[in-house]
Amino acid sequence: MISSMTGFGRSQWTGEGLDLSVEINSVNRRNLEISISLPREWQFLERTIHGLLRNRFCRGKLHVTVQATPHGAEGGFHWDAEGLESSLHRLEAVAQQHGIAWPPDAEALVRIAALNKVDLLLPESGQIAGSLEAVVGEAASDLARMRASEGKALEEDLEQRLSLLVEALESIRSLSVKTVPRYRELLLNRLQGAELDLDLSDERVLKEIALFADKCDTSEECTRLESHFEQFRDCLGGGSPVGRKLEFILQEINREFNTVGSKANQIEISRIVIEAKNELERIREQIQNVE
């Protein structure tokens, strides 16, 4: 089963005096790109997270957000209560000395409290490394499940579109059988209309028909298309990563249809080739999101 490159994964953990959450967003990219947002104290662990994700995914742009909240940090910032009270007493004395209105308004209190803010310390990276790796692994698994689910929908859509290309190939083969007889009939009508004393058994006429038959023969292209379709279908059922291989096969399919179109001597075949190439473009857009 193929996997999509878009998805979202999340995991949470509580322990070591803090609440830890990891979120991973993934979008399509030709290669694997990873960006990580970590608390400043844990920057040392960025390489470890990179390694974990590179072992799980091959393509896509992944953005990892790690948030850590120490227990008791809910409800806004924290301040030194004794320091804040001391500051207020000193400021009150200064205000009375200079005839400034007291007490201060709410905005002033917030500013004073901010000056006495206390940062709640996070555990050192060495202490949290094992737990963080586990949470990242769970978030990666959640992301992988979503990418697999998206991939299943992509696979079903590509299978349906591939069946349309198979039908187009069958129609081309059916019409190609009639190309040479039609040309033979047209050539005979032209000869009769020109009142030339030639018939279809004449060597020159036979040579002309043979050259035309060779020029418009698409049997090799049709055989190669059939093979490419089978390879494409095998990739869909072979698991990830197959995105790049599907892109290559699609290029080959497009090349064969182009050749068939250039050789076609029937308006019906030309129309089928045009519609097939439109379908190929739709497939190409879908493949851009396959891992």
DSSP element (H, E) containing 20: strand 18-27
The reported pLDDT for the residue numbered 216 is: 63
Asked if 287 and 251 count as a contact pair (C-beta separation under 8 A), the reply is: no
Residue type, 204: R
Q: What is the mean pLDDT of each run of 10 residues along the chain (291 residues)?
A: 94 88 95 93 92 95 92 54 72 78 73 59 80 96 96 94 96 76 56 53 59 65 93 87 94 93 82 95 94 93
DSSP 8-state symbol, 4 = B
Contact residues for 155 (Cβ-Cβ < 8 A; gap 6+): 1, 2, 236
Pairing between strand 60-70 and 32-37? parallel
Inter-helix orientation angle 81-97/106-115, to 10°: 130
Asked if 220 and 176 count as a contact pair (C-beta separation under 8 A), the reply is: no
Nearest residue to 53 via CA among 144, 188, 186: 144
pTM, entire model: 0.71
C-alpha span between 212 and 214 (Å, rounded): 5
Question: Can you say whether the dihedral through the CA atoms of 92, 96, 98, 104 is positive or negative?
Answer: positive
